Every structure is written in structure tokens, then in C-alpha cells.
Structure 1
Amino acid sequence: MQGALRFGARLVAILVLLAVLYSAAALSFALSPVSGRPQQADGEPLVYVCTSLAHADIVMPSRDPLIDWSTHFPAVTPPGLPAGAYLAFGWGDLRFFREVPTWADVRPSIALSALAGVNDTALRVIAINPPANDPDCRALRVDRAGRQALIDYIRATLADETQSRPVEQAHLEAYYLARGRYSPLRTCNQWVADALAAAGLPHALFAPFSFSITWPLEKPPLLPGKS
């Protein structure tokens, strides 16, 4: 009995230590981000990053000069959708998306299965109004090369880019099977950080939490001709 208790205590101590090290690494990378490159984006449409307590989305115009997303995601871009609508793109564990609409719905089995990477992943796409006045969204000025990189990154996330039918849909929200497996090292926020990296925007190399996305973006952008 005492041996089992000692083993349990050691296991808890190890898990706590790993959690502390994980959080410390996230803080370190968020405070020392990659600065990104200069963006010549005058006159270009705005891109947004929208965050919640634990999740982040890339938000792009539904009709960008570089792409009309309705040809790729007709399920969330019906003919009556306003021309100025935006699409929010997020990646994550499909079961978690489906079964955890609020934090009150989190169950240990769902969280553990997501962290273990045993479930399918999905690209979630939601049609929304322009988020300019949303306090949880940050506007980003991204040049054409950066937006094309974001477009390519999002499309490459799909498990089958030629399949436009979602695995689940509710009004203007749809889920599409995606590439990759969710894990402690590959979270929904890491997916957004990698998107920002592709676009040449400030980002943390290790970004497991939503603050890992927002903190690097709060630093002043690098201006052309400045170092």
C-alpha cells in the first residue's frame, strides 16, 4: 500500500514538473518571438487574429482579391452572404470541436483523447461579420505575398482539398477533415502561429496557448528600412 502511494506521489510530482516546464517554455517563446518581415500592405484588405481563452483563429475576407473562398467552402458562403463577410479558420481536434461547445462541457476523457492525438482533426470554417470592433480580434496588415501564404497554408491543411463537403455543418459553421494530429506540441494555437510564420508576421516558435499568439503581435511591427 505504501509503495503504491509513493508511486502515485512521484507520478503526480512528475506531471506537475512537466506542466511547469511546459508553461515556462510557452512563456519564454511568447516573450522572445520571431519578429517577422516588413509588410508593404497599404490599401490591402485587413486580416485578423481572433482569440478566446484557449483558442485562436485566422480571419480573412470571404472575398479577397487573391481568392474567392466561396469556391472552396460553399457550405458557409451561400449566395446571400454579404460581400464584406469574413471567414474564421481554426484547426483542432474534431471530437473536441463537436463535444465541447463551452468549457462546462469539458470531460477528462475528451481532453485526454485530444492530447493523445487519437481523434481526427478538422479545419473549422465560420462565416462572420467583419470583426473590426471585436475586442478579441487584432487587425493585421498583411501584404499580398503574406496573404497568399496564408491562403496556401489554409488550403494545405485540408485532408482532401478537392472535397468541399464538410463532415459536419450548422448554419454558417462547417468542419472539414484536416491533416495532422493534435498533441501537446501541435495545438490549435500552434497551427495559427505556423500560419503567421508563413505570412511573415511576428510569432512564437512554440505557441501552445492563445497568449502565445497575442503577445508577439503586441510588439511594434518592423517598418521598411528599419532594423
Structure 2
Amino acid sequence: MTRWLRRGLVGALLVWIAVLAVQCEQPTVDAVEEASGPHTVYVVRHGWHAGLVMPRAALGDAAWPVLGDFPPTAYVEVGWGEAAYYPNPDAGLGTLLRAGLWPTKSVVHMAVFDEPVTDAFPQHDIAAIQVSRAGLHQVAAFVRQSMHNAHPDPVASGHYHESAFFLSRLPYHGLNNCNQWAAHALRAAGCDMVPTRTLRVTRLMHDAQSCGRWIQSAP
């Protein structure tokens, strides 16, 4: 009886994983074209996830109309995560488990700043990736398609600098997490990323370094 129960539980788990995989949608973008550049995309590690920093002048505020609500700056950083866990610095274990085990809503975090990236994030691991102008705009298109609409209202204050959270249209769960989202964005820019294997931030940072170079290690 125990053996049949164990087999039943394993079967149910496999079915659930398949259901989650089906829901693991990501925005689609066209292939990267050769264009002028290069531009630098920075991958900044924040604990268990990472943010992508881009030069705002090269990007242009038209990439995301919501950027017009922020003061003019040199850089913009974007990240993505679970809607209840990501904005809440005091989220408990229950919120963390719910974020990983069950499809939930998600948010995009957007922050703007002027200082050099290593000065803005002096305590963080950072990789730098050179991309073409087309590659940069492919990342922008990916982020734009991740958002709930072209100009969403903020749903929460951001974590640092001038920043805010905005509702995303994507489901979040254990097989569609923040590091996989960042890997999809970098693959759109031309990096050789495999998002399905990028469950952990350590893998994301390793692959980002392989696509570019390491410029700063956390103290």
C-alpha cells in the first residue's frame, strides 16, 4: 500500500510540474539584428535574484512610457518577481513558499539613478555585457511585454534610488522565476542563455560573465 501511495504522489508531482511548465510563458521577441553599438547591460546581483541595468539615453524613454514618470537619469534598472514577496522586505516563509509552489501574480521593479553602476551598488556582484543597439532594444521590448500594459500605475514603492513596482502580466512560480526571466531578457540581447536551467542566481551570474565580463565582486 505504501509503495502504491508513493507512486501516486510521484505521479501527481510530475503532473503538477507539467502544468507549471505549460504556464511558464515568456514574452517573445524577434531575432537580434546587427546594429550600431555596443552598449553595456549590467547584471547586478541582489541576494537571490538580479537586476538588469541599462543606459537610459541609448534606451530612450519611449521604450517604456512609464519612464516618463521618473526624473531624468543616466541609468535604469529593471527586475521581476513575485507580487507579494518581491516588494515586501519582511515577507515570511509562507509567502516565499507560496511564491515558489503556486502560480501567482508578478511585478516589475524599476529604479533610476545617475552615479556609475559600481558606485550605485558597491556591495554587489556585477557583470557587464556588451550588446548592439538592436540587442539593447530587444531587452527593452522583452521588459515592455512583461508589463501589465504600456503605462501601468505603480503598485508599491521601490527598494532603492528612485524606484517603484509595477504589475506584470506574467505568472510567477517555481519553474518561472526571477532568474529565468532575466535569462530570457539576456538571451533576447544575444547571450547564449538557457533559461530553463537558470533557476538560481549563481547560474545567471555565471552565464552573464560568460557572455560578458566580471567587473565587481561583493566584499
Does the TM-score normalized on the shorter chain lie above 0.5?
Answer: yes
Matched, 1:130 2:116: yes
* 1:177 alignment counterpart: 167
Q: TM-score, normalised by structure 1?
A: 0.68
Matched, 1:199 2:174: no
Q: Alpha carbons of 1:38 and 1:215: their partners in 2 closer, same or farther (altered >3 Å)?
A: farther
* 1:48 alignment counterpart: 42
Q: Alpha carbons of 1:106 and 1:164: their partners in 2 closer, same or farther (altered >3 Å)?
A: closer
Q: Alpha carbons of 1:98 and 1:218: their partners in 2 closer, same or farther (altered >3 Å)?
A: closer
Unaligned runs of 5+ in 2: 15-31, 213-219
Please give the alpha-carbon distance, in whole angstroms, between the structure 1 residues aligned to 2:155 and 2:112.
Answer: 17
Aligned-partner residue type, residue 59 of structure 1: V
Matched, 1:60 2:54: yes
Aligned-partner residue type, residue 138 of structure 1: A
| Aligned residue-pair number | 182
- Structure having the higher strand fraction is 2
Please give the alpha-carbon distance, in whole angstroms, between the structure 2 residues aligned to 1:119 and 1:220.
Answer: 31
Q: Alpha carbons of 1:211 and 1:50: their partners in 2 closer, same or farther (altered >3 Å)?
A: same
Structure with the greater alpha carbon radius of gyration: 1
Unaligned runs of 5+ in 1: 19-36, 222-227
CA RMSD of aligned residues (A): 3.2
Deviations 1:165-223 (A, max 9, x none): 211235711111102111111010000000111111132332111112111233376xx
* 1:217 alignment counterpart: 208
Q: 2:82 aligns with which of 93, 108, 128?
A: 93
Aligned-partner residue type, residue 72 of structure 1: V
* 2:216 alignment counterpart: none
* 1:166 alignment counterpart: 154
- Give 4+ residue runs of structure 1 displaced > 6 Å after superposition: 37-41
Please give the alpha-carbon distance, in whole angstroms, between the structure 2 residues aligned to 1:192 and 1:219.
Answer: 15
Query: Would you say the 8 A contact 1:150–1:195 is kept in 2?
Result: yes
Query: Would you say the 8 A contact 1:117–1:181 is kept in 2?
Result: no
Q: TM-score, normalised by structure 2?
A: 0.70
